[in-house]
């Protein structure tokens, strides 16, 4: 007997008794109601804060459902950006703090853009309005709230 099912929206594996997909926010229970408008049917569940939202409170962004509060987050492969800095040491410190809190940060940096030149003194120059070396800290969707709390408690601003 298979103890896992696939989400019909994103094809990721989900628990058979799940009411919604933690990977995309698709609802499996058609009777779910919006957290803010209980008279409205929910269109999905925000993958970051786990709140069911109607179409007025949430939206699909690249096949992932987000509430209005979280719809501007940068999302990459099941993770959301919680911190960014041009300072590699600051980003490393933030990542280590998240690890010590039991979270699963992923550090991402695109140090080589085609249209960014690295000057001889290792400072980055801008071309076409793009900076080229932000170090991003991403965490799984379900850890965003906890990660932001850890960073806030340590007075580390998200950047």
Residue 95 pLDDT: 96
Residue 111 pLDDT: 62
The domain boundary residue, chosen from 71, 99, 129:
71
Domain, as residue range, for 124: 75-153
**Does the residue 64 lie in any domain?**
yes
Angle at CA of residue 96, ends 49 and 114, nearest 5°: 85
Residue 132 pLDDT: 56
How much is the CA Rg of the chain, to the nearest whole Å? 18
The domain boundary residue, chosen from 71, 99, 115:
71
Q: Which uninterrupted H or E stretch holds 149?
A: helix 144-153
- For residue 131, the domain's CATH number is 3.30.70
**Does the residue 159 lie in any domain?**
no
CA 145 vs CA 68, 69, 131: distances in Å = 15, 12, 27
**Mean pLDDT of successive 10-residue segments in the chain (159 residues)?**
80 91 91 91 95 94 95 94 91 96 92 48 46 84 96 87
Q: What's the total number of domains in the chain? A: 2
21 and 48 belong to one structural domain: yes
The domain boundary residue, chosen from 71, 95, 111:
71
**Does the residue 158 lie in any domain?**
no
Residue 30 pLDDT: 76
54 and 106 belong to one structural domain: no
Measure CA 26 to chain center: 16
Residue 103 pLDDT: 98
149 and 82 belong to one structural domain: yes
**Does the residue 117 lie in any domain?**
yes
Residue 159 pLDDT: 65
81 and 37 belong to one structural domain: no
């Amino acid at each position: 007997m298979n103890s896992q099912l696939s989400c019909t929206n994103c094809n990721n594996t989900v628990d058979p008794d799940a009411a919604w997909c933690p990977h995309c926010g698709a609802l499996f229970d058609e009777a779910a109601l919006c957290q803010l408008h209980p008279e409205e049917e929910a269109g999905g569940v925000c993958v970051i804060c786990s709140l069911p939202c109607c179409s007025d409170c949430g939206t699909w962004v690249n096949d992932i459902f987000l509430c209005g509060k979280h719809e501007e987050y940068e999302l990459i492969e099941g993770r959301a950006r919680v911190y960014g800095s041009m300072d590699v040491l600051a980003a490393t410190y933030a990542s280590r703090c998240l690890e010590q809190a039991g979270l699963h940060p992923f550090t991402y940096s695109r140090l080589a853009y085609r249209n960014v030149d690295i000057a001889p003194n290792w400072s980055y120059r801008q071309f076409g309005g793009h900076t080229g070396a932000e170090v991003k800290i991403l965490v799984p969707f379900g850890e965003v709230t906890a990660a932001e709390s850890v960073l806030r408690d340590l007075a580390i601003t998200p950047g």
